[in-house]
Structure 1
């Protein structure tokens, strides 16, 4: 782990010797170990130590130079400062990056401790037992071709010449199981589940096995469906996948670059059903390993994006906030170019609807569990999508797996066509979201 205060003192001495007045450093490192198994035998053991340090220096003309390094000893820092200082002569003059005005503001205090990793044999035994239990859950489950159990310790820090000094560390463990089932005369069917927690001891391995088995079994005896318009119910994970694909809606940098479905004037406008509310919340209790500061040292926070259908905020770095007369939101990624990205979505009901819906009573609705080919089937600047999916036709609680089909539409219309937001959330690695009911989406089936 980097000793941040010692690094800050060393950097200040070197910068003074080099005549550098303004600089900042953001760094992260991770130690991870993961295992995979195959048919009762260990398949792969992977261990890695990765680190990345971004050093930025400003010259007397307020131009910035940047370099990266993995070496934080005095010699490495001196070389990085020299290189960034030389590069500053070629820095941009227009909209040049600057320190975040909140780099020294108090950040949230979260009680976290690094957890000592379990031994590799323990990881292998745990994953082998999970594989065996999953295969034994149903005669049709033939194998678990994709699986993994991993542990990771992460350390992050930020410091600058104005006295900012932040560091944090966290641990998490995760398990992924993806089973394959086969029936005579049918195509193989697959499904998976992912769980994450702060340590191996708290990881819900049993829940991952049960969820994977239930999903895989439910996809047996699949049927074709007719092409047409359907009421579609997105699982929390599926809706977050779609929301992430069109995250330019909230991204201030994308908006300033004219690469967004929104404009600066979109704030305060209705963009979704009043039944929907969305926040970006890095500090949500379900966000295992959530960050308390971003790449510019800005504290992370809960940022309302959509409140009862109204677009209320964008996600900002220090630079975009300055240009749009707003406040940084803790969503910046430091680098040669500062970028903006969401931390952890929290989707929840807005206004109460006229009626409630339930899969136990609904007739002929499509439940989408997982969306595929998001890299190819989405047009972020047009708002359109056409995506294959895994899911079921649900009729009064009875689920029939769908052979193969695609869902298509316009994301802005999807947001406005929401007819119900359930209250019970699904917890996923990218956010917390309940099932979302959308009226009149196009499904291409048989």
Structure 2
């Protein structure tokens, strides 16, 4: 795949000339473009081969009354830009006077340097051949592994742009690749069992293929000898992936947009309140060196930075766009999208232990503790089993009941609770922080969580 980057200076000059000619004084443009190739296989044969080129451009125009109109397009030609500007200007007459976004005050501030070398792409035929080999190796890992029903190898390159009439000019390019394997094992007279693994890298040639195969096989095989679990309350250890999934499902707690929209557990008065145990820290760090998809700025041009959300268990900051930051009297944090309504969302969570606090259960270790506990590997149905505005969750999970160091796969069960009780019920954060494809976290121990076994 070849991808010719945009000439952002030329694009800015074209927009400036068109806006000046049409009497438009205030405007901005956010754009993302990319090319992606992906393959899937089924028992050594190609199941799907797909290549796509996508572009998404949002143009905003402020009229003389200060109201905003928004237009989306995929045409960056002079004619397309003129239509977008005029369309946004006409739409501004119907702008919402109660919620008027502005330019980020940090849209022209220096942005951080990110060391993410652009990697060359491989042909789609090479991707297909690689994935066939990977599938074959995974199938050969154990006689019970009969299929790899969900799999995918993809790579792509993309660029992001932000320009505005006050001189902001942001441009970045990146490449990214991913491998996903989800195996299915079957034994006579037993229910099918599954397990999966994910790897991401800057380029497909850099993916840890063998590590992904090994992890997917080990997880699948470890669930073969399953048993039902009794309903009750248990000491629970979340793997880093599972805990990050749970946090992400309740990210509206630290989202200023969600607070203003009335769909968050938090409020403006929540800042400074104790949300978790004193030895719990949560940062959002879109600049983390292991974050393959790192971006130096957000949709409004605000620089990305490491932000402490929960420090020593207390809510210290929220995720902000320009508009929410203005209402809270703070600076934007670099977490905004760009659209008819500016969205706000996290980048890359980091969970860590506070230096000022200490765990009361430092002896706990998921690898060798003699305590009886449930080790949760992954959570399912997050879209359906989470009521983010209420704090409640009830989620099926894959995991093991661990007794005297012996792991017994849980046949089928759900875990239920309230995220506030989880955060305040943490009894231990293991010292080793694990880098996953979605963030960084140690294994997290919580006592007294309700688990319902399914017959």
TM over 0.5: yes
Structure 2 counterpart of 1:369: 377
Structure 2 counterpart of 1:352: 358
The alpha carbon displacement at 1:422 in A equals 1.4
Partner of residue 27 from structure 1, selected from 19, 28, 31: 31
For residues 327-349 of structure 1, the C-alpha deviation after alignment (integer angstroms, 9 at most, x for no partner) is 10001111000111111111111
Q: How does 1:347-426 map to 2 (within 5 A)?
A: 347-350=351-354, 351-354=357-360, 355-359=362-366, 360-426=368-434
Aligned length: 446
- The answer as to 2:113 corresponding to 1:115 is no
Structure 1 unaligned blocks of 5 or more? none
- Secondary structure of 1:118's partner? coil
Between stretches 399-408 and 86-95, larger displacement belongs to 86-95
The alpha carbon displacement at 1:363 in A equals 2.3
Q: How many Å separate the matches in 2 of 1:204 and 1:425?
A: 20
Structure 2 counterpart of 1:4: 8
Structure 1 counterpart of 2:241: 237
- The answer as to 2:79 corresponding to 1:72 is no
- The answer as to 2:221 corresponding to 1:221 is no
Structure 1 counterpart of 2:183: 179
| Structure-1-length-normalised TM-score | 0.98
Q: How many Å separate the matches in 1 of 2:316 and 2:263?
A: 19
Q: Determine if contact 1:286/1:432 at 8 Å carries over to the other structure.
A: no
For residues 218-260 of structure 1, the C-alpha deviation after alignment (integer angstroms, 9 at most, x for no partner) is 0001000111010011111111111111111100011112211
Q: How many Å separate the matches in 1 of 2:99 and 2:397?
A: 42
| Structure-2-length-normalised TM-score | 0.96
Q: Determine if contact 1:255/1:263 at 8 Å carries over to the other structure.
A: yes
Q: How does 1:117-132 map to 2 (within 5 A)?
A: 117-132=121-136
Q: Determine if contact 1:253/1:316 at 8 Å carries over to the other structure.
A: yes
Q: How many Å separate the matches in 1 of 2:117 and 2:289?
A: 15
The alpha carbon displacement at 1:289 in A equals 2.1
Q: How many Å separate the matches in 1 of 2:152 and 2:435?
A: 19
Q: How does 1:7-406 map to 2 (within 5 A)?
A: 7-350=11-354, 351-354=357-360, 355-359=362-366, 360-406=368-414
- Secondary structure of 1:176's partner? strand
Q: How many Å separate the matches in 1 of 2:44 and 2:253?
A: 46
Q: Determine if contact 2:116/2:202 at 8 Å carries over to the other structure.
A: no
Between stretches 305-314 and 425-434, larger displacement belongs to 425-434
RMSD: 1.0
Structure 2 unaligned blocks of 5 or more? none
Between stretches 48-57 and 359-368, larger displacement belongs to 359-368
For residues 66-87 of structure 1, the C-alpha deviation after alignment (integer angstroms, 9 at most, x for no partner) is 0000011111100000000111
For residues 340-386 of structure 1, the C-alpha deviation after alignment (integer angstroms, 9 at most, x for no partner) is 11111111112232323112123220011111111111111111111
The alpha carbon displacement at 1:427 in A equals 2.6
The alpha carbon displacement at 1:112 in A equals 3.2
Q: Determine if contact 1:140/1:183 at 8 Å carries over to the other structure.
A: yes
Q: Determine if contact 1:36/1:148 at 8 Å carries over to the other structure.
A: yes
- Secondary structure of 1:333's partner? coil
The alpha carbon displacement at 1:121 in A equals 2.3
Q: Determine if contact 2:363/2:369 at 8 Å carries over to the other structure.
A: no
Q: Determine if contact 1:113/1:169 at 8 Å carries over to the other structure.
A: no
The alpha carbon displacement at 1:16 in A equals 0.5
The alpha carbon displacement at 1:423 in A equals 2.4
Q: How many Å separate the matches in 1 of 2:369 and 2:299?
A: 48
Q: How many Å separate the matches in 2 of 1:81 and 1:441?
A: 54
Q: Determine if contact 1:275/1:419 at 8 Å carries over to the other structure.
A: no
- Secondary structure of 1:299's partner? coil
